[in-house]
Amino acid sequence: AQSVTQLDSHVSVSEGTPVLLRCNYSSSYSPSLFWYVQHPNKGLQLLLKYTSAATLVKGINGFEAEFKKSETSFHLTKPSAHMSDAAEYFCVIGGGADGLTFGKGTHLIIQP
Amino acid sequence: ETGVTQSPTHLIKTRGQQVTLRCSSQSGHNTVSWYQQALGQGPQFIFQYYREEENGRGNFPPRFSGLQFPNYSSELNVNALELDDSALYLCASSLATSGLDTQYFGPGTRLTVL
């Protein structure tokens, strides 16, 4: 079975400072990994996905993530936080007929 | 291009009743998946339909069932509602069933069971 663990339930940063949301994964084979964002009362939006083409994945709104097999990690970063980034972020693994497996989420708070 | 749509937006039912939720896939997508998101939790996979057949299922009891129609729209049916079924139900469509295919989510249906 595949799984992901989001290491922080809440992260608070000041506007204009870097963002780091941490995710570790477990998989017995090469995984598909995703980061989704969910704003209040909105659906899930795909930020980026890793499917083994390149280890550094660039997404929308300035986010990127690096796949590190040796560390079984897929951390999400952004150089400079914006107020509009405040939301719930989910690290996700899998897909196909087994469906996506979501982490418990990290609530990102942006301080003015 | 039309995105994934779901109806209704909100629904209130009482314990023991039955409910049907609906989803229209993104244009050109033949695969639909359903997820349950309890308050404060990540979504959990219920099942997936591909070309009108269920081809994958998560850890949900048989009272959760579904249908996919020839136009690739889909329904989620829940019988004998329980209080714990209160959640946001999300539908996602994708081009195919591969794990490489991105799943695009609808806005969800908020179900409250009293």
- Structure confidence by residue, pLDDT tens digits, A3-59: 999 999 999 999 999 999 999 999 888 889 999 999 987 789 999 999 877 889 999
Is the pLDDT at B99 greater than 70? The verdict is: no
Q: Is B55 on the interface with A (CB under 8 A)?
A: yes
pLDDT recorded at residue B27: 84
Chain A residues close to B97, C-beta within 8 Å: 96-97
Note the pLDDT tens digit of each residue in B32-84: 999 999 998 999 999 999 989 999 999 999 999 999 998 889 999 999 999 99
Chain B residues close to A45, C-beta within 8 Å: 105
- Point out the residue among A32, A44, A97 whose CB comes nearest to the CB of B90: A44
Annotate B67-109 with DSSP letters as a single string.
EE-TTS-EEEEE-S--GGG-EEEEEEEESSSSTTSPPEE---E
Please tell me whether the peptide bond between B8 and the residue prior to it is cis, using omega within 30 degrees of 0.
Answer: yes
pLDDT recorded at residue B97: 67
Non-local CB neighbours of B51 within 8 Å, separated by 6+ positions: B30, B68
